[in-house]
Amino acid sequence: MKGSVGKIFTIFWKDILLEIRTKEIITSVLVFALLVLVIFNFAFEPETATMGLVAPGILWVAFTFAGVLGLNRVFAIERGNSRLAGLLLCPVDHMVIYWGKLLGSFTFMLAIEIVVTPIFLALLNLPLLLPRLILIIVLATLGFTSVGTLFSALAINIRARDIMLPILFLPIVVPVVIAAVEATVVVLQGDPWGDMLTWLQIMIAFDIIYLVVSTLVFQYVVEA
Partner 1 sequence: MDGRGALRHYILVGLGFALMVAALYMVFIYVPTDKNTGAVQRIFYFHVPLAWIGFLAFFVVFVCSILYLTKRDIKWDVIATASAEVGVVFTSLVLLTGSIWAKAAWGIWWTWDARLTATLVLWFTYVAYLLVRHYVTEDSQRARLSAVLGIVGFIDVPIVALAVMLWRTQHPGAMIFEGGLAPSMLATLIVCIAAFTVFYIILVTQSTRLKNMETDIRDIKNSKID
Binding positions for partner 1, rule: CB under 8 A: 147, 150, 154, 157-160, 164, 167-168, 170-172, 174-175, 178-179, 182, 198-199, 202, 205-206, 209-210, 213-214, 217, 220-221, 223
CA distances from 76 to 8, 99, 142, 195 (A): 19, 17, 20, 40
CA separation for the pair 95, 153 (Å, rounded):
13
The least distance separating partner 1 from the CB of residue 207, rounded to whole angstroms, comes to 11
* Closest by Cα among 126, 70, 57, 54 to 102: 70
Which residue, 111 or 164, is less far from partner 1 as judged by CB?
164
Cα 72 from Cα 75, distance rounded (Å):
7
**Closest approach of Cβ 206 to partner 1, in Å?**
6
Q: How far is the CB of 212 from partner 1 (least distance, A)?
A: 10
Nearer to partner 1, 123 or 164 (CB): 164
The answer to whether residues 187 and 196 touch, using CB atoms and an 8 Å cutoff, is: yes
Q: How far is the CB of 209 from partner 1 (least distance, A)?
A: 6
**Residue 152 in contact with residue 72, Cβ under 8 Å?**
yes
By beta-carbon proximity to partner 1, the closer residue of 116 and 147 is 147
The minimum distance between CB 159 and partner 1, in angstroms, equals: 4
CB nearer partner 1, residue 7 or residue 56: 56
Question: Helix 131-155 to helix 94-123 angle, to the nearest 10 degrees?
Answer: 130
CA 52 to chain centre: 24
Q: How far is the CB of 214 from partner 1 (least distance, A)?
A: 8
Q: Which residues are CB-neighbours of 41 under 8 A, at least 6 positions away?
A: 123
The residue among 126 and 172 lying less far from partner 1, judged by its C-beta, is: 172
For the CA atoms of the chain, what is the radius of gyration?
18
The nearer residue to partner 1, 33 or 137, going by C-beta atoms, is 137
